[in-house]
Structure 1
Amino acid sequence: MTTERTTPLPDIEALSRNASLLVEEFGRAAAIYMKPKGEGDLPLPAPVKPPDEVNDVVRTLGAVAERWLVDPQKTIEAQTKLSEAFITLWGSTWHRLQGEPAAPVVEPEPKDNRFKHEEWSTNPIFDFLKQSYLITARWAEELVEGAEGIDDHTRHKAQFYLRQITGALSPSNFVLTNPELIRHTLEENGANLVRGMKMLAEDIEAGKGELRVRQTDPTGFEVGVNVAVTPGEVVFRNDLMELIQYAPTTETVLKRPFLIVPPWINKYYILDLNPQKSLIGWMVSQGLTVFCISWVNPDERHADKDFESYMREGIEAAIDAIGVATGENEVAAAGYCVGGTLLAVTLAMQAATGNKRIKSATFLTTQVDFTHAGDLKVFADEAQIQAIEARMKRRGYLEGSGMATAFNMLRPNDLIWSYVVNNYVKGKTPMPFDLLYWNADATRMPAANHSFYLRNCYLENTLSQGRMILGNVRLELKKVKVPIFNLATREDHIAPALSVFEGSSKFGGKVEYVVAGSGHIAGVVNPPSKPKYGFWTGGPAKGHFADWMQAATEHKGSWWPYWFAWLEHQAPARVPARIPGEAGLSSLGPAPGTYVRMKA
């Protein structure tokens, strides 16, 4: 005998009280949102002009619709296909309402967690809502895919924008169309909605008038206390960066020191989250003298700091300082994400000028060829770059929230709407998670640097074509002959494995191309003590990426030991361990330093 789960009737008095509180919290959230965004700002007049982003969405999807409307026969066929799907769904739902079995017309993708609650399938009404949404969303996707006469960039943008819209309109996001949320709200007499509205107001306030969706509980972490804790000393500082030298844990170390160039789009401690996950800590344990750049969180004073500034005051200044600290004029270096792109630019500059001080390079999910750069290319056409440049001109930098939002939009269902539902509808505080704490610790981008990056990499792809000019020098990656370890990750949405694969052929020397499991972060931060993913090796990155992957050898466990064996082979000589602050450079303070603590 089976018993059907029932929801207890709500407490009407508590429900009424919470309804009043909900109205109060809504008023508070609205007041915070309508508050002027900064000194000298005025409330927006009516009618409010739509932002550039909305205009671009309308233009892009309008271009797709126009291509269908010019062919009435194709339009009728598309409408007929949608109508037939709904007629089939109506019939299936009618049978289910009569207690008869019926196969679903459409089902969610296996990794789609929005409809995991059992009532999305067992309740015919909610099953109808789910299938109606999926049918419509997939039909719209087919319209974009099948539109004739539009260029690839417009199609790519339309697919991206459509994904944002369908993600936002999912019935799983709303109380009255989500069975789990209905039960949850009735069981709590609406108290969850009051808590959620309170968090919404707090998050708008934290975003200074814009919603900054929290993805973790930030109170559980503090830089230098339980994240970024590998011991070391800041041994050099200038306007753009602090250089950290980490304390050794072995009696001897490789003679050639190692420099890490992290992205300035995020803070460096993704590579030093905690002792269990720290790539930096593991590198030290293997006998490396590790130096890491910690970029400044720029403000209006850094507006004119461009790509050349980051190269000269960042990487080149770090190599100079390492020479003073260790007596070594040559280094091995690694660059992560855009830090790797900057490292590749530096290698090309050194090859062009003959000042070849970087003797091997490791690239972690790095693009040098942006032909297949993924969904971020949506934001990199001339009109949108001009809009970003206009925003940056007002303050001298791009707000940290700008890039954070762009990255979240790459996976909206996982990184936006799941948290919206959890926080503001269920009224639950997100669980503490160090990775998401780091992700929310935003950094700004200087106007000159970011403009150069968007134009030369995403828009014009000058580096891969040997056309990038920096300091009046034309840079050619084919002149870069040093050994290169080029790591891609299989599910990367930011630096797709195909893009990294294609970039490998742009260098003039031997490139070890390796693909790790998972994505842009988890694939890199995969320690040998608790590896979650394996990796693939398959020789030079030649031919087609799909063929390379099919022929590649899969390895269990972390890629870290494989990489260290490659690195040690380049220069195996060892010397006694070096103590930070005891040689040519004195300590300016303990790691993680001061720049990493600067908030956007």
Structure 2
Amino acid sequence: MGDHLEKLNTNLKRVEELSQRLVEALANKGQNDPGLNGPGPDLYMKASMAYWSELVNNPAKLMERQVKFWADSVTHYAEAQQNLAQGKLEPPEDNTPDDRRFSNPLWKTHPYFNYVKQQYMISANAIEASLKDLEGLEHKDRQRIEFFAKQMVDLFAPTNFLATNPDALERAVETEGESLVKGLENLVRDIEAHKGEILPTLADGSAFELGKNIATAKGAVIYRNEMMELLQFAPTTETVYKKPVIIFPPWINKYYVMDLRPENSLIRWIVDQGYTLFVVSWKNPDKSYSDKGLEDYIEKGYLKAIDVVKEVTGSKAVNAVGYCIAGTTLSLTLSLLKKRRQKPISSATFFTTLTDFSDQGEFTVFLQDDFVDAIERQVAEDGVLDNKYMAKTFSFLRAKDLIYGPAVRSYMMGEAPPAFDLLYWNGDGTHLPGKMTVQYLRGLCQSNDFAERTFELMGKKLKVSDVDLPLCAIACEADHIAAWKDSYRGVQKMGSEDKTFILSQSGHIAGIINPPNKKKYGHYTNDDLSLSVKDWREQAEFHEGSWWPRWEAWLRTHSGKRVAARSLGESGYKILAQAPGTYVKETPEL
């Protein structure tokens, strides 16, 4: 008894200290534009007007929905009560669909938890059904209303609250409350780290060190300017293809997603196939970069990197790869080069790249004026878009997996974040220059000028049909960031007569970082790119395993003959730092 009392008193003292820290952390919450926290009032007005119009014009339908909800709720209550009245400590029949949030057996066997779960499901279904009945909404408005309604439904899941989460309650009993104290420690730590924001830490940051157990491919920085470091990776074959490969990763995150571990490193794999590989590592900008735009990324990033690679290798042209937003910007660069009548790029590869934003997919929610206006105001004040806003945006697109699930495990179960390299990389974000952010959101995403009209940049009118060199595009079937259907439509509008489109299984990261040795995800091909999205997919041929070897076979045809492997830092370019370089380690405070 004495030991239990001592432990209780110790925990209570820790709770008191943590509570004080919690209050201080919440008081220090940074100020940001309120428009970044939710939709503008116009969306609420549109939803209200649609509901009122439906109530006036078709009251029977809404009443039917309401009566069904009442009936389901009352019937459920009556069935639960009947079992209890008969002395049965068991729930009524449960026909709710499987949901991994409710994997604890008590959700099915315990009357209390089962009642809570079933009533939550009834309420969630009622909300979903009521939204389907709303008429007179534009497609984008409907998408947004459904998205925010789903956010509310997910937020109020019983698993998110201690009193209705059997896993958390069992853990608290097993640990004599220790799990709740650790959970509070985790909560305070996250709020302090994120300046008052409640964002769960997804991975154990202390488990990884760049260049030690992550991002370990051998290479060196051979050039550096204010926008990027250029890394050259050491050859692993005696001969290499004459034309080098240069990869432009997205500057929303850092390049080493392509070099997490030796066994899934795309960088190592490309080098092992006999290519001289260069990768750009972008600067993580601070407020002084507020006026840097797409033109700076193109001129001092893409074009300068290509010039250096050509000098180092002696090749007249390179094979360029762009990933996500870097693929979009590679398309702009190719259009610019055509206007300038220059041909330093032999072939282009696009990983999960959008160039046609006519259908914004799941990002529709965050690409309307209320949010973009708020972002524009925020970057005008801060100079850059803090990476926390991008992290929140991506997380809320998969809130169950990236917010509520981790929060439950961390704050209610008291678990430490896992040592997971991909989640560590995901949390190692970068800021975005203010000017570039607005250019991208207004001119490309909202106006879709590059695909539908012309996008004016660097004194030229750029358009997607200018992209006319041999190209290979890889999209991912379950990609919620760059939907494959939109990627496909953009490729269709490109002017090249030599196009290859590959559809990988899985999502934005796993579909790309899919090494052949894993044999995890397959891919689809179809040479007829004149087909509609639906017809292309239905007629596509499925192939087991990774798309990497298929792409490499295509790349080989654009890479010339084999020559002696090149050493690091040839042609007068000195080694400035060993890989992974210095820019990748920077996290400027704002």
Q: Which residue of 2 aligns with 1:557?
A: 545
* From 81, 96, 101, the counterpart of 1:106: 96
CA distance in 2, matches of 1:414, 1:133: 19
In 2, distance between residues paired with 1:225 and 1:83? 59
For residues 560 and 18 of structure 1, do their structure 2 counterparts lie closer, same or farther at Cα, with a shift above 3 Å needed? same
2:176 paired with 1:193: no
CA deviation vs aligned residue, 1:278-305 (integer Å, no higher than 9, x gap): 1011000000111111000001111111
Equivalent position of 2:68 in the other structure: 81
**Distance in structure 2 (CA, Å) of the matches to 1:487 and 1:91:** 54
Deviates more, 1:141-150 or 1:436-445: 141-150
Which one-letter code corresponds to 2:235 in the other structure? P
Question: In the alignment, is the contact (CA less than 8 A) between 1:493 and 1:519 conserved in 2?
Answer: yes
Deviation for aligned residue 1:480: 1.8
Does the 8 Å contact 1:258/1:331 carry over to 2?
A: yes
Give the ranges of 4+ consecutive aligned residues of structure 1 lying more than 4 Å apart after TM superposition. Answer: 10-17
- Give the match's secondary structure for 2:136: coil
Of 337-346 and 141-150, deviating more is: 141-150
Aligned to 1:301: 288
The Cα of 1:105 is off from its aligned counterpart by 4.8
* The 10-residue stretch of structure 1 (501-510 or 208-217) with the greater mean CA deviation from structure 2: 208-217
Is the alpha carbon distance of 1:133 and 1:58 closer, same or farther for their aligned partners in structure 2, counting shifts above 3 Å?
Answer: farther
Q: Does 1:584 align with 2:561?
A: no
- In structure 1, the partner of 2:51 is 68
1:29 partnered with 2:19: no
Q: What's 1:4 paired with?
A: none
What amino acid maps onto 1:563 in structure 2?
W
Residue of structure 1 in register with 2:106 after alignment: 119
Secondary structure at 2:346 match in 1? strand
| Alpha-carbon shift at residue 559 of structure 1 (Å) | 0.8
* Letter aligned with residue 127 of structure 1: N
Alignment of 1:259 onto 2:246: yes
- CA deviations on 1:346-397 (whole Å, 9 max, x unpaired) are 1111122211211111111111111233222211112321210111111210
**Cα distance, 1:417 vs. partner?**
0.6
1:566 aligns with 2:554: yes
| Inter-CA distance 546–12: structure 2 relative to 1 (3 Å threshold) | farther
Residue 54 of structure 1, CA deviation = 4.6
| Residue equivalent to 1:45 | none
Question: Structure 1: which amino acid aligns with 2:513?
Answer: V
What is the rounded CA distance, in whole Å, between the counterparts of 1:216 and 1:80 in structure 2? Answer: 46
Q: Which residue of 1 aligns with 2:209?
A: 222
**Fraction of identical pairs, as percent:** 38
Asked if the contact 2:316/2:344 (under 8 Å) is kept, the reply is yes
1:105-159 superposed Cα distances (whole Å, 9 cap, x missing partner): 5324xxx321111111111221121121122122212222331112122111112
Structure 1 residue 588 displacement after superposition:
1.2
Q: TM-score w.r.t. structure 2 length?
A: 0.94
Aligned-partner SS, 2:452: coil
How far apart are the structure 1 equivalents of 2:66 and 2:367? Answer: 33
Q: Report the counterpart of residue 500 of structure 1 in structure 2.
A: 487
More moved, 566-575 vs 304-313: 566-575
Tell me the amino acid that sits aligned with residue 512 of structure 1. T
Greater shift in the superposed pair: 304-313 or 69-78: 69-78
For the structure 1 residues 429 and 81, does the alpha-carbon distance in structure 2 shift closer, same or farther, using more than 3 Å as the test? Answer: same
Q: Separation in 2 of the partners of 1:115 and 1:582?
A: 59
CA distance in 2, matches of 1:297, 1:439: 15
Counterpart contact for 2:54–2:135, Cα < 8 Å: no
Q: What code does the residue aligned with 1:480 have? A: V
**1:442 counterpart = 2:429:** yes
Are positions 1:539 and 2:527 aligned together? yes
Distance 1:476 1:96 in 2: 68
The 8 Å contact of residues 182 and 414 in structure 2, kept in 1 or not, is answered as yes
Q: Deviations over 1:314-368 (max 9, x none)?
A: 1001011112111113110111110111111111111222112111111111111
Displacement of 1:498 in angstroms is 1.2
Helix, strand or coil at the partner of 1:282 = helix
Q: 1:101 to 1:296 in 2, by over 3 A?
A: closer
Q: Which amino acid aligns with 1:60?
A: L
Q: CA 1:287–1:407 in structure 2 vs 1: closer, same or farther (change >3 Å)?
A: same
SS at match of 2:149: helix
Q: Secondary structure in 1 aligned to 2:473?
A: strand
Q: Name the SS for the 2:320 alignment partner.
A: strand
Give runs of aligned pairs for residues 116-155 of structure 1, distance below 5 A. Answer: 116-155=103-142
Structure-2 change in CA distance of 1:354 and 1:466 (3 Å): farther
- 1:446 partner amino acid: P
1:373-429 CA-partner distances (Å, limit 9, x unpaired): 322221111232121011111121000111011111110000111110011110010
Pairing 1:406-445 to 2, within 5 Å after superposition: 406-445=393-432
Give the secondary structure class of the aligned counterpart of 2:468. Answer: coil
- Alignment correspondent of 1:282: 269
More moved, 187-196 vs 79-88: 79-88
- Distance in 2 (alpha carbons) for counterparts of 1:345 and 1:416: 35
Query: How far has the Cα of 1:59 moved from its partner?
Result: 4.6
The answer on whether the counterparts of 1:468 and 1:474 sit within 8 Å (CA) in structure 2 is yes
Q: Which runs of 5+ in 1 are unaligned?
A: 1-9, 42-48
State the 1:599 CA deviation. 1.1
- How many residues end up aligned between the 2 structures? 578
